[in-house]
Each structure stands twice: as C-alpha cells, then as structure tokens.
Chains A and B, each alone.
Chain A
Amino acid sequence: MGLTMIQKVTLPKLGETVEKSTIERWVKKEGDSVATGDILCEITTDKATLEVESYYRGTLLKILAPEGVELPVGALIAIVGDPGEKIPESVLAEAGAAPAKSAAKRAAGAAPSAADEVAAAAPVAPAAAEGGRIKVSPRARRRARELGVGLAGIHGSGPGGRIVEADVEAARTAAAVKASPLARKLAARQGVDLAAVPGTGVRGKVMKEDVLRAAGQGAPPKPAPSLVEGAGKIVPWTPMRRVIAQRMLESKQTIPCYYLEMDADVTELVALRTKLNAEGGPKVAFNDFVIKACGKALRLFSAVNSRWASGGVERRTEVNVGLAVALDEGLIVPVVCEADKKSLRQIAAETADLAARARANRLRPDEYQDGCMTVTNLGMFGIRSFIPIVNPGESTILGLGMIEDRVVARQGNIEIRKVMTLTLAADHRLVDGAVGAQFLETIRDALEAPQKLVD
C-alpha cells in the first residue's frame, strides 16, 4: 500500500468541558484551495460560535459532515489533500464518528506508518463476535450490572472493538430516548448518538430518517405535525437553551438557597457616575460599580468566595465576577477576572467589550467560565426587586433592581433619595446567614460611599 497524502480534518475540542459541537456553516466549499490558517468552517459549542482554522495546505477534497448536525469532538469532518487525490473507502467510512473506532489491527511486527491508520479503520459494528461472545471490559461489565443495562447490541469503542464503560453510559442515555427499533439499530450501527438526534415521529420519537439525516445521509426534515398536547409547534432546543435549562434546574434542585434583601441609597453613586462620564474615557455603568464592590467584598469574605467541592470547601484564590448579559435567544454570563484588582475604568472597558461580543456570540469559553459570583440587573425593565438563581459552581448571586426616587426617612426628616434594592441569593452550605448579611452589607456600604470605588 502506498503512502497517501490526504490529511484528515477532525472536529476540534474548543473548551474544557465541550464534548460535542455543531457545524454552523462551511466557509470553504469542496474543491476550494486551502492555506494553513484559512477558516474552514464555523462551529457552535454550548454558547458561542468559533472558527475552525485549517492546519493543512491543499484542496478541500471532501466535506464529510453536514451543517446543523451535532457531532462528537474528534469526529472526522473533512479531507484536505492534493487535487484529484483518491480518498480510500475506509477513511470515508470514518466520517462523522468519534475517533475511537479502529478495529483491532494490532500492528504486531508491522512498522507504524500512515498506511496503518488507513488500513485499520473498519465499519462500525456492535461488539458481539465469534460465536456470540461479547467483548466487554471488566469495568464496563460492572457498570452495566450497576445500571441494569443489557450488553447485547452496544457498540464497542475500546481497544479491539471492546465495549468499555463509556459505551455502557452512552447506551443508558440512548435507551432513555424514544426511538423506533429500526432507528435504534441504525444509530448503533452508524455510531450516532441517539440523544442528540431531533425526532420527527409522533411525540418527538426518533425515526429512521432522523438517524440517517444525523449521519449526513437523509433528506431535510418535514415540518413536524402539531401535537395534541400543545397548541403550538415544538421547536428543538438550541444548545444554549438546553444548557440554561440544565443549569437552572440543577441549581434549584441541589443548592439550598436563602435570600437577603437590602436597599442601597445610591444618590451619591448616581451623581458620581454622571461626573465620571462627563470626564471622558470609557463610559462607566452602574453595573461596573457593583462589580467592583462585589470584587472587594469577595476578597474580604473568603467563606463567600468559595465553591462546594468533593471532600471539602474550595477556597478560591482569585476573584472573578460575572455579569449576566441578555441575548436574543437566552443569556450568558461573561466574567471579569480579578475584579478586586482592576480599576473601575478597566472594569468598565472590559464589561463593554464582553457584552458586545456576547451579543455577537463571539465569547471564548474561558471568558464565561470560572466565575466566583454573578451580578444580574433587571432594573432597566422597571423591576424593583427580584429573587435570582445561584449559578452552579458559585456561592452567591446579586440581583439589582431599578434605581428610583423614593421617600425615605433620614435623620428624622422626610427626604427623596435615589434607592436601589439589592437581593442576594446565597448557598447556605457555604455561606451562613450572618456571613451573607455582612457580605451584602459590605457591598451596600461600598455603593453608598462610591468615591472609594474609583481608582
């Protein structure tokens, strides 16, 4: 077998916890020439759109993954090579599937080379072989027993085509998906993740056509018939909606929260902001003052700047404050790192940039991860106060209401002052009531003496 010069393009892993992505749009078309660094396609992960650059130079010979289908990281999505070059069948067969599929061709004695890779790929099949004996690793067998999942028909991705623990986990998730028997069989054979396939059958059941489409071989979906149970049409979840739903539900179900409300007299803050913005430079928003105040408070209250970890409470060393930004189809929380160390103007410049890129879906995963607490503001919609939901992984979230003129009693006199209601939601596993109250008080005091936040 001669050496082949084709280069495989696989779906990259962009972000620590990213397991799957969807190709939004192919920028290059089949037959286009490609230089190193050229953008091949755009992909979406949980919440952001990112560009995939080519490592190779040549011609885009074949696109192997369609737009709009969710694929596992590492899946083969395209081939780049010399024009007119032949692509072996075995390579084409790998299209769209995760890379752990080469059947056991232990190269005993054979010299490793590009030829081996091409020779070793084989069509994906369930692990039952040679007289009905299923190849399963001990760990996978134990997991299957624990989960009550049958091993027959599970596709093996381990060495030698063996079923491994990850395959058993995937089968359990797949088993929970409503699908026709034919669709299920087809999905197993093609290595398609049933849970990721939108179903167009009755009540959202996954049918054969849906699996074929997911594998890049079917016709575009017919509009789903309206169902008896809803008056409207079912719109498949966007990745962002799915993540928001999963995280908010997890928060409500697993974090024991309590809520503290406090009014802040922001009359001086309003005046100071007007004055600063008249001086020129990046416009400072009310949120920026709050972020700075929260940053300083987190630095003082190590119990609040902590995370629930296995085996103990993780005291965070850095102070990262997130700001909730509303988007057309959801919301995202870009994070200002080291909010306690940055100046107010630095924070202002950063939040303006982060918010703009958030709305354009151009945030990098590291820009919306690892927050210590979140600030969320619904004041611009006339909300006086609200009870926010703590983001999993953080201990607190601060909700800001509308700044409004209110009648207050001050030193025995009736005055009209500008007041904003702060609502702090706190995870009681980490933050006790007294601590939470002092934390909120520290933030309130900082907002009422705003000159100290400017530096």
Chain B
Amino acid sequence: MPVIMYREAIRDALAEEMRRDPRVFVMGEDVAIYGGAYSATQGLWEEFGDERVRDTAISEAVIAGAATGAAMCGMRPVAEIMYVDFMTLAMDQFVNQAGKNRYMFGGKTTVPMVIRTEGGAGRCIAAHHSQSLEAWFTHAPGIFVVMPATPYDAKGLLKTCIRDDNPVLFIEHKMLYNTKGEVPAEEYLIPLGQAAIRREGDDVTIVSYSRMALRAEEAGKALADSGISAEVIDLRCLRPLDIECILASVRKTGRLVVASEGYKNSNFVCEIIARVQEFAFDDLDAPIERVCAANCPVPMSPVLEDEAIPRADKIVAAAKRTLGKA
C-alpha cells in the first residue's frame, strides 16, 4: 500500500474531489501559486488553473464570507484559513452566516462549504500561531468539526466533508503535515461521527484527537510496559461525536482519561466528561482525568512550550492516577 504524507493525502483528496465535481474549488491565502503555507495545495493550481484555485486577499472575513456566498449559490468551496488562530476574524461569517443560514432560511438554502485550517503547537511560533480552538466551534450549532490525526483519516474524511452539504471546519495540525502513513490508492470515504480504536484494553480508556491522539498511543504503549492495559480512542471527528464508542469503552474499563491540546478551561473534552457522567455514572470506578494545555497563551520558548502542551508522560500519569497508582 502506498505510504504518503498527511499533506499529500489532503492534496490528493482535494484533487480527486475537484476532478469529480466541477463545483468544487479551492480558495485562500497563498494556496495557488505558492501551493499553500504548509504545501497542502501544492500542484493544484498547475492542474486546475486560476478559476478553481484562487489566491485571496489577506482577509479572513472575506475568505469565509465569499465561500459562504459561493456555497449558497451552488458551488462547493474549500476555503483555507492559514492559522486557526485567525478564525477569530472569520467568526461572524462562518458561525453566524454559514452555520445558521440553512436553519434561518427554513431549509431554502444549504451551505455546502469546508473551511480547512490548522492549529497546534510545536514550532515555537507562539501565542497567535499555536492554538487549538476547536471548542469555540463545537459549541456553535450548525457546524461540523473534524480533526484527523493520520494521512489515512485526513484523506477519507476530507472527501466526505466536501461531499457533505453542511458547513464543516476541518482542522489539521501543523506538526502532522509531514507525518507518513499508509493510504490506499483506491477511493475510500470515512463517515463523519466515527471514532477509531487505536489500541484495545481493559484497565483504562484514553480518549483524544489530532496530534494528542498520537501521544495517547505512545502513552498506551508505555502503560503496557507497566502492566496496565489501556484502550486508546482517536475521535477523528468532534462533531458529530461518537459518544457510543466512548461509552462502550468506559463501561468496560470503568476509568477515563481525556486528552486535548486545547487550553484546560472549557476544553472540548469537558463535553465528553459531561456526557460520560450523564450516561455512564454507575460504570465509573474513579474520577475522570483531564490532560490539557495550560491556561496561558502558548509560550514561544521551546522549554515553556513543551511544558505548557501535554506530553505523553502526562497522559501516562493521569491513567495511573485513575488506578490509584499515583
């Protein structure tokens, strides 16, 4: 099976969908001639030209607003916001217009658009370029939020998102772009709202997503060396959320650790914790542990950044705490 990079998987998904459906087009800052700040759209402009791969002005509000309008007029735009940190400038267009128009127009319109963006720390580019802001968007009705951790998931999920008639926020991770994985050459789609169990286990459940899911897998291996059998779940999609997968696991293990790169306060994982205690209270054998980033702007110093963003060993420690093995 071919082994390709995460960013190549994204580019391939875009190219395949653009070949398949002439309404699909790409727009964003430096996506065309430059091929994308992280090379995710490299080669597309050469194949599809100016009309379908469009460099925009440096205005996130314009990017999101134009994409919303185009989608309502029958196109299927895939717009790129270079850093999720800049979604702040696109919020009204994306959350209030794109997210709510189908409802507010009584179904007379749909907004089949995808905003691709990326977040996450690891490059020491500090507070405005390293955040994980998915919690803001999972909170808003009318929007789906997808966060793949592997090249296989990135391709399968992006294609599904492009074919979905809803506005979707597809959040990539800057540190995953050059990671490699097996991706079939034949076409495949991954449905939304389906988590992936990366490791089966009986003692404790670890739930995570995006780059933190890879750290959770590392934690699972380290725990196995200590004789602790962890079940590691990669959500892949935050909204819709595969709560059944999580609940089934917690019913088996009785213990839960949730991990995310977002700030600890009001992190998306709080939604998981709330639902687990709501639907599986009597299955819990220990309080749920939360492993998240520190409640401070992401530092620029490499040492501080490494401490502010959870490492695998912090997940290991949290899992051990649920077992009373502090």
**Chain A interface (Cβ within 8 Å of chain B)?**
13, 73-74, 99-102, 105-107, 112, 120, 137-142, 157-160, 162, 164-165
A138 touching B281 by the CB < 8 A rule? Answer: yes
What does the 1/0 interface line of B283-322 toward A look like (CB < 8 Å)?
1111100000000000000000000000000000100011
A164 touching B227 by the CB < 8 A rule? Answer: no
- Distance (whole angstroms) from the CB of B203 to the closest CB of chain A: 10
Besides A100-B323, A159-B322, A159-B323, 7 more A-B contacts (Cβ < 8 Å) are: A102-B324, A137-B254, A137-B284, A138-B284, A158-B324, A160-B324, A162-B286
Distance of A271 Cα from B50 Cα, bound (Å)? 86
B326 within 8 A of A: yes
A-B contact pairs, 11 of them (CB 8 A): A101-B324, A102-B324, A102-B325, A102-B326, A106-B326, A138-B282, A139-B282, A139-B283, A158-B286, A159-B321, A159-B324
- Distance (whole angstroms) from the CB of B175 to the closest CB of chain A: 26
Instruction: Determine which residue in A140, A158, A165 has the highest number of CB atoms from chain B within 10 A of its CB, and name it.
Output: A158
B286 touching A164 by the CB < 8 A rule? Answer: yes
B282 touching A142 by the CB < 8 A rule? Answer: yes
Across-interface contacts of A165 in B (CB, < 8 A): 254, 285
Across-interface contacts of A106 in B (CB, < 8 A): 326
Distance of A168 Cα from B323 Cα, bound (Å)? 15
Distance of A106 Cα from B281 Cα, bound (Å)? 23
B326 touching A140 by the CB < 8 A rule? Answer: no
A138 touching B283 by the CB < 8 A rule? Answer: yes
A140 touching B227 by the CB < 8 A rule? Answer: no
Distance of A157 Cα from B322 Cα, bound (Å)? 11
A139 touching B325 by the CB < 8 A rule? Answer: no
Instruction: Determine which residue in B283, B285, B286, B323 has the highest number of CB atoms from chain A within 10 A of its CB, and name it.
Output: B285
* Chain A to chain B: the 7 pairs with minimum beta-carbon distance, closest first: A100-B324, A139-B285, A137-B285, A159-B324, A164-B285, A158-B324, A138-B282
Q: Which of B66-117 contact A (CB under 8 A)?
A: none
A140 touching B285 by the CB < 8 A rule? Answer: yes
B282 touching A159 by the CB < 8 A rule? Answer: no
CB-CB nearest in chain B for A142: B282
A139 touching B324 by the CB < 8 A rule? Answer: no
Across-interface contacts of A102 in B (CB, < 8 A): 324-326
Total A-B pairs, Cβ < 8 A: 55
Distance of A217 Cα from B68 Cα, bound (Å)? 77
Distance of A13 Cα from B287 Cα, bound (Å)? 27
Across-interface contacts of B282 in A (CB, < 8 A): 138-139, 141-142
Distance of A142 Cα from B280 Cα, bound (Å)? 12
- Distance (whole angstroms) from the CB of A285 to the closest CB of chain B: 39
CB-CB nearest in chain B for A140: B285
Distance of A271 Cα from B323 Cα, bound (Å)? 62
A139 touching B326 by the CB < 8 A rule? Answer: no
CB-CB nearest in chain B for A101: B324
Distance of A101 Cα from B285 Cα, bound (Å)? 15
Across-interface contacts of B281 in A (CB, < 8 A): 138
B254 touching A139 by the CB < 8 A rule? Answer: yes
- Distance (whole angstroms) from the CB of B24 to the closest CB of chain A: 42
A139 touching B227 by the CB < 8 A rule? Answer: no
Across-interface contacts of B285 in A (CB, < 8 A): 137-140, 158, 164-165
Across-interface contacts of A160 in B (CB, < 8 A): 287, 324
Across-interface contacts of B227 in A (CB, < 8 A): 13, 73-74
A100 touching B283 by the CB < 8 A rule? Answer: no
- Distance (whole angstroms) from the CB of B259 to the closest CB of chain A: 18
Distance of A65 Cα from B254 Cα, bound (Å)? 32
- Distance (whole angstroms) from the CB of B232 to the closest CB of chain A: 20
- Distance (whole angstroms) from the CB of B18 to the closest CB of chain A: 43
A157 touching B324 by the CB < 8 A rule? Answer: yes
Distance of A112 Cα from B320 Cα, bound (Å)? 14
CB-CB nearest in chain B for A165: B285
Across-interface contacts of A120 in B (CB, < 8 A): 326
Distance of A112 Cα from B286 Cα, bound (Å)? 21
Instruction: Determine which residue in B281, B321, B324 has the highest number of CB atoms from chain A within 10 A of its CB, and name it.
Output: B324
Across-interface contacts of A112 in B (CB, < 8 A): 317
Q: Pick from A74, A159, A164: contact of B326, CB below 8 A.
A: A159
B326 touching A137 by the CB < 8 A rule? Answer: no
Instruction: Determine which residue in A107, A159, A160 has the highest number of CB atoms from chain B within 10 A of its CB, and name it.
Output: A159
A164 touching B283 by the CB < 8 A rule? Answer: no
CB-CB nearest in chain A for B253: A139
Distance of A1 Cα from B209 Cα, bound (Å)? 39
CB-CB nearest in chain B for A100: B324
CB-CB nearest in chain B for A162: B286
Distance of A137 Cα from B287 Cα, bound (Å)? 8
Distance of A101 Cα from B317 Cα, bound (Å)? 16
Q: A13-B227, A165-B254 are in contact. Are A137 and B286 (CB under 8 A)?
A: yes
Distance of A13 Cα from B284 Cα, bound (Å)? 26
Across-interface contacts of A140 in B (CB, < 8 A): 285
What does the 1/0 interface line of B257-285 toward A look like (CB < 8 Å)?
00000000000000000000000011111
